[in-house]
Structure 1
């Protein structure tokens, strides 16, 4: 009892001297959140029934309450012996536990305790001369923000303080470089001695300076005599350089510790992941784990229940097992779906090759459906949708052999269905009375259909050009159909609103045919597309050219020419009729038409207009030259490809806008002899 009472008296008599913890360069390392409540006088409480107080349940406190009370009651030599085996972080946290321990640890006589604890930390730099031991320990091992007390703050400043990202962006605490007001001083010199942070705003990084330090330094500077101000800056720069040197060492050590801790946590995570995989293998998921793709494996390792840096125990496994198995089931379903999708893509590729061979066996200008129409019909659809092995064998070209034999019948059926759609569009036109239109009406010269797709070309198309128009079979950029993506096409007029009958061009065609002395109700497309059929425009508004030349047009060009005049309301003085040409002029007009076809080759990035006569493949002009060189071993530098022998123009070319220009036939008297 004598020793105990003496110990208590000593504690009461000893004043808790600090080591400069009130310095404005750092936070109070012994700040106890409970001190404030303990120092305030207790409030008066209302008197209550004692029986009621006895019945109240006591709040459950985890751990042993008051377990450290015995430390302050033991002899000092024993206490210091215990503390000599601790590290700086342990001593720092002990100083937060109670006022009694704080009084012991913050006294000057206990300075050796902090030094011993610091020596127990391997590689820790020595305490800087401008900090005391508690301040240094608080900076190195307390990660709270010095400005708002936010926990886990990793941003450090060379004045040995910590700052969270929120405070660094606070304009009341940090300011921009050019917002500093320091009359009579060069800002470059001021920036050197003021603590600063780098703030990330969007994709840019900005430097901000500590406002409280600016105010403090300016006040100190103002108190210095004018003759000594320059030397004051020199001294501050030297002091700043010293602080930054010590800070660099401390920062290096902190980074090394963070890296070591990160590596340690990663090793724990790896052991936990390995243990979980072993548990799953025991439950029959080993094969599925091996089949996980790199992305799925990374996702598995990043699961909240897997990436926890904590050893796996049987109790933990029982708690997380259901969630992990549920994820494995979903991953397996996604894998099977992806494998089936890959198999479908391969099957679409096989079908595309077989259909290309079938198209090569057909006449050059045969009207054939897109391959997507074939893929969407039986029996091809069933073959493409066959299950994966082992439920079904691997699909090869042999599985399509029987189905390919049905292609001729399918083409006929598709053509009849497409013609029926076009006839229905003609009969549904409200502006004209075409309810009696028959299949033969499709071949009339007055029959035109417009491209009505939202992002289409708005071209006007005769029959059967409309059946091979690319806008009617090109898939949309965001199509949800995987088959269309694989085949790079979709069924012709897939949504049923890509093609519409054109009453405007129907009336223009009747006008031109009547002007040419032909019957619009019986004249067919074949008649007006004859190579010797030309329409001449008299009184064309392009007088500068037409005064010296005759304006000739093919049938489609004439349609486009009249449509342009009417859209501009310039058709009052326009007169068209069938051109009457001599044999010489007819020959020259046909040559002009051939020259225009040749000019299409100049469009390097143009559409696919050229059909290979040998294999029926359609290419751009540059692609065609490369094709016949590689596939048919024809040297284009020696053998220049010839029309009708090596290639023919696809019918889509005749409806392209840049092919529908007029031909200007100059009189022979105006052509030099060398041009004849």
Structure 2
């Protein structure tokens, strides 16, 4: 019959001091927990100024005062009032504080305290017969290796050991050699190697005991002995699996608890950022995820005022950067979409009149209102598509504005402001390219767009710069051009060589001439350079301007030159050349790249194979290829 609670309390009515001299029972022999660490005695400090040794001022130690009260407390009150709510890990830590507490907790009469503490732990398997309460508590709750005292999550429940991976492989207590004939009932543990292969380690002390016992067994006794060992090992394995399952569930519960604390901390951070005015940005799930995994936020402790004061600046800077990144991405996506839709809308327009480029159209109403006055979280695709009907009218207003700017340049140089004259050429200040009107309105100069940094409060300039880089063309401006006097005189001499008056000749007059001019300075062993008059206007290989430098090609030699030009065009066409500018000879539609021209000819004209009659180079544009710049007459004569 179990003793009554009253008699048990009466038996324990002695104080902590009464058991100080009582030796520890065998109850603690198998407990491998560390003893309290002895502290070094205080040493005298030497005053360097006076050279005298002064005794260090003793610090007040509150622990001794607390333990003094514990020592004066009756054991029944101590166990009932103070120790009844503790768990085994608490008793392990208490047993390592002082020798007196260690003696109290490790004596056999204190077993009921450990048992009660063990019952406070939910799901903990029962105490096995081969372990004491402190030893079982050490295996279940302690975090340190029995050898090196490093923290380790591994417990070898079958062998009743707690070794880290390094000590288990380095020590001689485990071996991976199969212990025949005892392999079926020797405690073991499995570890994964660096290659992922599972390695089984057997407990050497158990092997040694089994070998010693088996030596004295006869053949008749061996079978019964093996049967007993297997039954005992089966019981051991069942309990070990229960302990492993409990340990895994405990780790999972702890992980869930820490995750809950991290989530609460994240919510606290979000609430504080919302109060500071960043609520709209926190609607972005990408930003929430970035905060969730930030090292200052992903901590398993609740947020305090002190912690927030140290981390707020860092997190606010992060939110600002994320806002800039989000807005930058939204702006670029909007401009990319506009460029795609605008290119599709202007794909099949005639070459003349010139339409503004995408970056120029973005500055014109109604497109500018849709692009820059509409919130970035709204889609403008449908609005842009509906506005394409106004594009011809918008393009006409844009051309009139640019024509006025070009006429102002001509007036500034004292010229007649007539853009219809064949002498209306303008030089680009960035690439020194000479462009004839109206081709100058479509000139693309890759060096003319600036670099803009993103400003969340004024992102229009960044959007235009991005669109310029995407289309390899800057915003068109007459300030980018000038009237070059030397080029003007060269054009006048060429028009005179063609038999026209440069003062009155218009574009229609010169385009109606199917003639070629010869550069007399380029008469080499290869032949005489022959070219169209528009190409000749851009021929700047010779610095001097001389009326005698140009001659009109005879009609008898014109056919030979056309044959060479056709051959030059066929060999010079390359669908993968992204720098050449081509036009369709059937509808005079502009195409920048060869693959776009091929697609246009197939869809619009059902032409599968491109010939020299289907396309032509667009003169006085941005192409820097040597193709289409003239042919040498000597080759024609020899042919």
TM bracket, shorter-chain basis: 0.5 to 0.7
Change (3 A) 1:85 1:249: same
**Aligned mates of 2:144, 2:505 — CA distance in 1:** 89
- 2:638 aligned with 1:635, yes or no? no
Provide Cα deviations, 1:482-520, integer angstroms capped at 9, x if missing partner.
2454684598556988667779x8599599969989999
- 2:627 aligned with 1:659, yes or no? yes
Instruction: State whether residues 425 and 435 of structure 2, in contact with CA within 8 Å, keep that contact through their aligned partners in structure 1.
Output: yes
- 2:3 aligned with 1:12, yes or no? no
With normalisation by structure 2, the TM-score equals 0.55
Partner of 2:200: none
**Aligned mates of 2:504, 2:144 — CA distance in 1:** 92
* Structure 2 residues not aligned, in runs of 5+: 1-9, 46-58, 167-176, 178-190, 196-239, 455-461
Matched residue SS, 2:573: helix
Instruction: State whether residues 609 and 650 of structure 1, in contact with CA within 8 Å, keep that contact through their aligned partners in structure 2.
Output: yes
Residue 604 (structure 1) aligned to one of 547, 566, 576: 576
| Structure 1 position 146, deviation (Å) | 10
Matched residue SS, 1:535: strand
- 2:577 aligned with 1:586, yes or no? no
* Structure 1 residues not aligned, in runs of 5+: 45-57, 169-188, 190-195, 200-204, 206-246, 425-434, 453-457, 672-676
Residue 265 (structure 1) aligned to one of 249, 252, 258: 258
Change (3 A) 1:550 1:125: farther
Partner of 1:172: none
Change (3 A) 1:550 1:136: farther
**Aligned mates of 1:560, 1:137 — CA distance in 2:** 94
How many aligned residue pairs are there?
A: 522
Partner of 1:369: 356
Matched residue SS, 1:659: coil
Partner of 1:482: 463
Provide Cα deviations, 1:538-581, integer angstroms capped at 9, x if missing partner.
563xx5xx2xx545455677688763x88xxxx9xxxx954675
Change (3 A) 1:589 1:364: same
Partner of 1:471: 445
Change (3 A) 1:299 1:352: closer
Change (3 A) 1:510 1:482: closer
**Aligned mates of 1:76, 1:550 — CA distance in 2:** 122
- 2:539 aligned with 1:534, yes or no? no
Partner of 1:408: 396
Instruction: State whether residues 551 and 663 of structure 1, in contact with CA within 8 Å, keep that contact through their aligned partners in structure 2.
Output: yes
Matched residue SS, 2:427: strand
Instruction: State whether residues 517 and 536 of structure 2, in contact with CA within 8 Å, keep that contact through their aligned partners in structure 1.
Output: no
**Aligned mates of 2:432, 2:575 — CA distance in 1:** 19
Change (3 A) 1:85 1:384: closer
Provide Cα deviations, 1:375-409, integer angstroms capped at 9, x if missing partner.
32456544544466999x99566678779745423
Partner of 1:103: 103
- Give matches, 1:424-463, under 5 Å: 436=414, 439=417, 449-450=427-428, 452=430, 458=431, 460-463=433-436
Change (3 A) 1:556 1:68: farther
Which range is displaced more, 507-516 or 469-478? 507-516
Change (3 A) 1:133 1:534: farther
- Calculate the aligned-residue CA RMSD, in Å: 7.1
| Structure 1 position 418, deviation (Å) | 4.7
| Structure 1 position 471, deviation (Å) | 2.0
Residue 34 (structure 2) aligned to one of 20, 29, 35: 29
| Structure 1 position 532, deviation (Å) | 1.5
Instruction: State whether residues 582 and 597 of structure 2, in contact with CA within 8 Å, keep that contact through their aligned partners in structure 1.
Output: yes
**Aligned mates of 2:329, 2:589 — CA distance in 1:** 30
Residue 593 (structure 2) aligned to one of 617, 620, 633: 620
